[in-house]
Structure 1
Amino acid sequence: MAAFPIQIGGKWTAMIVLCLEAGPRRFGVLRRHLRPISAKVLAETLLAMERDGLVHRRPVPGADDGGIDYELAPLGRTLLGVIEHARAWARAHLEELSRSREGFDAANPAS
């Protein structure tokens, strides 16, 4: 289920948190997992998340290319439960949301 109606931080923050749930990842790996995101937006979002204390940015030990890993900080990990509750809510109410959106769109074709 990709629907995620509640925004935490920026548009991509929750998706980045989920990508980092299993452990640290490099920028390129995050970008591949979040295909529609541009490199610029990913970099800006990661910087904002680092500023908020949600992620840590660390050099990759022994990497010749100066690679950087991003990992969830303890504060970022606290979002995992919030995100799961929001996803459960979306699953439980998806049909209702879809009907409401279809009704609105039919009544407001210019929107």
Structure 2
Amino acid sequence: MARQTAATPAISVTDCAYSRVLEIVSSKWTVLIIFALAGGAQRYGELRRRIADISQKMLTQTLRQLERDGLIKRTVMPAVPPIVEYALTPLGETLLPHIRQMKQWTTDYYPLVEQARKEYDRENAQK
């Protein structure tokens, strides 16, 4: 275990803001919705088609949470039936470079993670 020094402060689960942000961005649906909205506003049905395997319930819950967190804006346009669009807010757009960087890391390094898992499983299967 690494020894804590003044240069490496402890990370605490009780650090409310940090924990809350991790809760937000650790959801695969959050990240996929943010990516889907990176190109501009979209309607609910468009989002559902773009995000494979997301259920209606999860899409609705995640959109509501992202709206509550100030990361997306829901706009209802007067029409019959009403047209509802979702778009990233300026705050939501600030996450894009970080999420893109994580995606690039995944592209560059996930094969090494898979390799490490196989080696670990092979070594530990004999125990």
Which of the five TM-score ranges fits, normalised by the shorter chain?
Answer: 0.7 to 0.9
Give me the TM-score of the superposition, normalised by structure 1: 0.82
Greater RCO (CA < 8 Å, at least 6 residues apart): 1
For structure 1, the residue ranges without an aligned partner over 5 or more in a row are 1-6
Q: How well do the aligned residues superpose, as a CA RMSD in angstroms?
A: 1.8
Q: Deviations over 1:51-107 (max 9, x none)?
A: 1100000013x5321121000001100111001111111122122111022234445
The 2-side partners of 1:34 and 1:102 are apart by: 29
Q: Residue in 1 aligned with 2:114?
A: 98
Deviation (angstroms), 1:35 = 2.3
Instruction: Name the CA shift for 1:94/1:45 in 2 (closer, same or farther; >3 Å).
Output: same
The counterpart of 1:17, out of the listed 14, 34, 41, is 34
Moved more, 73-82 or 89-98: 89-98
Q: Could you say what secondary structure the match of 2:80 adopts?
A: coil
Q: Aligned runs of 1:1-111 on 2, under 5 Å?
A: 8-60=25-77, 62-106=78-122
Task: Specify whether residues 51 and 102 from structure 1 end up closer, same or farther in structure 2 by C-alpha distance, changes over 3 A only.
Answer: same
Query: Which stretches in structure 2 are left out of the alignment for 5+ residues?
Result: 1-23
Give the number of equivalent residue pairs: 102
**Structure 2 counterpart SS, 1:57:** strand
Higher radius of gyration, 1 or 2? 2
- Name whichever of 100-109 and 73-82 sits farther off: 100-109
Percentage identity across paired residues of the two chains: 36
CA-CA distance at 1:108 after TM superposition? 5.9
Query: Take 1:9 and 1:87, find their aligned partners in 2: how far apart are those partners?
Result: 13
Query: Judging changes above 3 Å, is the alpha-carbon distance between structure 1 residues 91 and 46 closer, same or farther for their aligned structure 2 residues?
Result: same
For the residue of structure 1 that corresponds to 2:25, the secondary structure is coil
